[in-house]
Amino acid sequence: MPLRLGTRGSRLALAQAEMACRALAQQGVEVETVIIRTKGDDVTGVPLHEIGGQGVFVRALDDAIFAGEIDAAVHSMKDIPAQRPRGVTTIAVLPRESPADFLALSTGMADVRVVGTSSTRRRAQILRHDPAVEVKVLRGNVDTRVRRLLAGDYHAIVLAEAGMKRLGITLRGFRLPPERFVPTANQGAVAVVCRDDPSLLITLSGLDHTPTRRDVAIERAVMEAVGGGCATPMGIYCRKGRLIAEILAPDGSRTERLERDVKTAADAREQGELLRDRARDLIAMAPGAMAPTAGDA
């Protein structure tokens, strides 16, 4: 009986699932792909934080695992919430693609006045760079957002460079350096989640890429220590133990930032707590946010 691997139905999600399928096939594992619809796919007219954040893409697949409809699921790791239900495990993290954002243009850079994104982090970073720009909400999958750009609805939009590469999309524009436009935690990484079944854990563990898991674990430790919410404008990026993390005011007018060499998730957690304490007022500014208390972790 083939292993049933769940995924969302977007072109990008299917491309990422195919990455896992190819890796499993190389190990002699037969795989069947099962498409699961999520609330995040069905409700596209509002910002993600208003319908439950990035976790809306994950919960439907978790439910399918618990219901026995699928054995495992493939996710963009940045979509996986910090708090996870018992009974599921992130068993593997595939080799990371570019963590950076890409600014795609429909006009010359000097003429950019309207930028599309639904991310509060990207909005704050864009406004920090140029407060005169108007940032308008843009939801939908990558193909939808590209169509809106090419139709002239926006002068520029921000996309994850990894997604563009996985879909073979080439657009006019340029990569935003992750040291300046710090990406969201785990951007560019793909995770495989499964129920806590010993045979599944053994089968899927061979997909894990240790250097990527180490970096994304540090990023997640910072994210969990900071707390806040999915609407907090926060960037966290680690490469080979070099951590950059920042929290911004929603309008980009202020930033709290740290850069450190970090060896373990415990060290990263300490840095996250430090950043949280320095940025309490910024966290409290996020849409619908409640400032974390000293006991939050």
**Active site members:** 79
Sign of the dihedral through C-alpha 185, 186, 192, 197: negative
CA dist., res. 242 & res. 193, Å (int)? 26
Q: What is the CA radius of gyration of the chain?
A: 19
Q: Helix %, strand %, coil % for the chain, to 5?
A: 40, 25, 40
**Do 180 and 80 touch, CB atoms closer than 8 A?**
no
Q: How far is CA 211 from the centre of its chain?
A: 18
Please say whether the beta carbons of 13 and 74 come within 8 A.
Answer: yes
With b for 16 or more beta-carbon neighbours within 10 A and e for fewer, the 105-133 pattern comes to bbeeeeebebbbbbbbbbbbbbbbeeeeb
Helix axes 210-226, 265-278, angle to 10 degrees: 30
